[in-house]
A and B are shown apart, each in its own frame.
Chain A
Amino acid sequence: MYLQLNSINKVFDDTDKESLSDISLEVKEGEFICIVGPSGCGKSTLLNLVAGLISPTSGEITLEGNIVKEPGADRVMMFQEAALYPWLTVRENVMFGLSAKGCSREEQKEIAKKYLKMVQLWHYRNYPIHQISGGMKQRTALARALAMDSKLLLMDEPFSALDKQTINVLREELEAIWEETRKTILYVTHSVEEAIYFADRVVVMSENPGRIREIIPITLERPRRVENESFMALRQQILQSVKAGVKKSMEEEFDGPEGGNEEDED
């Protein structure tokens, strides 16, 4: 299996709270996996674990058989904020990781050109970051991530800070780019619609502690249309599943193991 998560547990030292419990997942090369779930279910934590930014309390993650121990250029991550460097231009940002990879200046420029054209920002290559819009920033971040040509692309709600129209445009762009590049993508989102739009399989998580509730394969033909009836049916089904995961934890909060102890306020 390309990417493998073997019964991952994650307990954060500072809160002692079990954030993720017994997460196992296998991902094939070229697969687009979307992870949905209520906020606080640990879906971003899961992504950070795969990125190697944090390490699991128990269990292990392997990519092509190699255990993930630290961050590396084979697992580039995109964040909710574009995380671009304001002292560099659009093109310099795309070239940023390539110089760390050891590409020559000429190679960097060539690769940056290819991906800036792919995200339709070639015209803006010499712009400073503060002069482009939020959507353009995320497109730059996408070009930067693609330019690294990593084995795995990790995306943590990359479009969630944008307006609806921009999101729609970017979704289509990302879908087309994925069709073209066939990257293996792990995509975290709180939008069920977005998950169905992109995913080969949707991983639904529940919270407290974060577990995989179910994994739903999406076989709809691409490009998918939100108005499509089977799309809407799937959307209902997954929304129900996500809600069920939330409800369980809500109940726990009100008459859970400790019972509502009001003296514990602080």
Chain B
Amino acid sequence: MGRKEEMKRMKTKKIAGSIAFVVGLIIIWQLIYVIGADWLKVVKPYAVPNPLGVWNSFIGLIANGTMLTAVGHSMLRALIGFIIAIILGVILGILILHFPYLCTNLKPMILGIQTLPSICWVPFAILWFGLGESAIIFVVVMGSAFSIALAVESGVKSVPPIYIKAAKTMGVGAVGMYKKVIFPAALPSFISGLKQGWSFAWRALMSGEVMSATVGLGYTLILGRDLADINQVMTVMLVIIALGIIIDKGFFSVIENRILRKRGLLQ
């Protein structure tokens, strides 16, 4: 019991430390702003955000409903794009796995395309789909489908051959092999691939929205620049970061850890 309490106290201490760090950072930030902008007049207030301004901007965006609409639209686009990317990525991944010809020739290309920053797809998107939802979704799909395809391929390849051998001698056929052995065995790496794919999708979404949206987080950010409201720009940046963390830690990591723990791969 004593050890448990000890651990609990350690944890509380750790959390308190983290909070103190963030609070300290905000205080220093505000101090620098006050000294630089108000006292020494070397910092231009329209170019540097300050904590108080960001807070006011946040409250303002919440109050007039802009923030909620923006988050809603952005999340919906990301979700639609991500689902399309999963479907395409899985199909592409399985094709690469089944045809050695595609593996030698198409895979290096996919690796190449994957290094392309998704903003590079924006011109195509606008030319092909016009300024609208489909253009942004196209950028999201292009930004994440290829990384998902590579994750599917490497996940399946990492399945221990003995799992497949054992199933074969028990008379499991090709379809059953995917359903009962390969998919469950590749699930942990597939989930971590999806997690990475999501982070690509999220970044691609912002590229798309900054260029061509009329509503959404990326658009709200650019609107802040156009209004010379640097605090609004900063507010939207923080919201984008927060959403990214929440989905990564609150969704993907939770699923990932649950699977790993069930298999004894995580304590």
A interface residue numbers (CB < 8 A to B): 51-53, 71-77, 79, 81, 83, 85-87, 96-97, 99-101, 128-131, 144, 148, 154
Contact = CB atoms under 8 A, between A and B. Distances in A.
B166 A77 contact: yes
B169 A77 contact: yes
A21 to B, nearest CB: 24
5 contacts: A72-B171, A87-B184, A87-B185, A97-B172, A100-B172
A85 B162 contact: no
Contacts of B173: 100
Interface residues of B, number: 22
B166 A83 contact: yes
B95 interface: no
Which interface residue of A72, A74, A83, A99 has the most chain B CB atoms within 10 A?
A83
Contacts of A71: 168-169, 171
A83 B264 contact: no
B187 A87 contact: yes
Query: What are the 4 A-B residue pairs with the smallest beta carbon separation, nearest first?
Result: A130-B264, A73-B171, A97-B170, A71-B168
Given A79-B162, A83-B163, A83-B166, A131 B264 contact: yes
A77 B162 contact: no
B171 A85 contact: no
A79 B166 contact: yes
Contacts of B181: 85
B263 A53 contact: no
A81 B162 contact: yes
A75 B170 CA distance: 8
B262 interface: yes
A154 B185 contact: no
B165 interface: yes
B180 interface: yes
Which interface residue of B162, B165, B166 has the most chain A CB atoms within 10 A?
B166
Contacts of B170: 73, 76, 96-97, 100-101, 144, 148
B176 interface: yes
Interface string B238-267: 000000000000000000000100111100
